[in-house]
Amino acid sequence: KTRSIASLFDWVHSVDRVSIAQRLSNQRPEGLAPLNICLQINIDKEASKSGLLPEDVLAAVEQINDMPNLCLRGLMAIPAKSDDIQSTRASFARMYQLFEQAQQLSDAASFDTLSMGMSADIEPAIAEGATLLRVGTDIFGARSS
């Protein structure tokens, strides 16, 4: 799967571990620009979600910065589902703190993407620094169950 992705795409928004990043870098064909990636963060440490744990992010950023065929563009997360907007906003605030710390370890000019927030929580995501939102429900409507 990673070989096709490395060959055919310009962006991957959800790299959830360093080993996947390494495979993507190794499999990126010569002559193509570095593959843009965002690291997927399991910001609320949910057992049901994949992604790097917050405490592992900075070490992963340092490793990925040394991978020649990748351009680490930022971080992405989907916080725990909650009806409490303050809880969601706190998750977004933790993501922004991680983003700022990771940006200090990276090329600030290209480390520019903080992907968090969906149709239901656009306002707090923007308030906490999101630069990329997922708004499929607002555009296409709710998924049928």
pLDDT (tens digit per residue) in 27-54: 999 999 999 999 999 999 999 999 999 9
User: Is there a contact between 24 and 37 (Cβ–Cβ < 8 Å)?
Assistant: yes
- Say if 55 falls within a structural domain: yes
User: Is there a contact between 93 and 54 (Cβ–Cβ < 8 Å)?
Assistant: no
In the predicted model, is pLDDT for residue 138 greater than 80?
Answer: no
Interval 54-106: pLDDT, tens:
999 999 999 999 999 999 999 999 999 998 999 999 999 999 999 999 999 99
> For residue 135, what are the domain limits?
2-140
pLDDT score, position 52: 98
- Say if 34 falls within a structural domain: yes
Closest CA to 7 of 24, 15, 61, 137: 24
What is the pTM assigned to this prediction?
A: 0.93
Compute the distance between CA of residue 102 and CA of residue 116 in angstroms, rounded to an integer. 16
CA dihedral 119, 125, 113, 70 (to 10 degrees): -70
pLDDT score, position 120: 86
- Say if 69 falls within a structural domain: yes
Token digits of residue 39:
């690291």
- 109 phi and psi, to 5 degrees? -70, -35
- Say if 145 falls within a structural domain: no
Domain CATH for 37: 3.20.20.10
In the predicted model, is pLDDT for residue 137 greater than 80?
Answer: no
- Say if 26 falls within a structural domain: yes
- Say if 127 falls within a structural domain: yes
User: Is there a contact between 69 and 34 (Cβ–Cβ < 8 Å)?
Assistant: yes
Q: Domain tally for the chain?
A: 1
| Rounded alpha-carbon distances, angstroms, from residue 141 to 84, 117, 119, 137 | 22, 16, 10, 4
- Say if 41 falls within a structural domain: yes
pLDDT score, position 107: 87
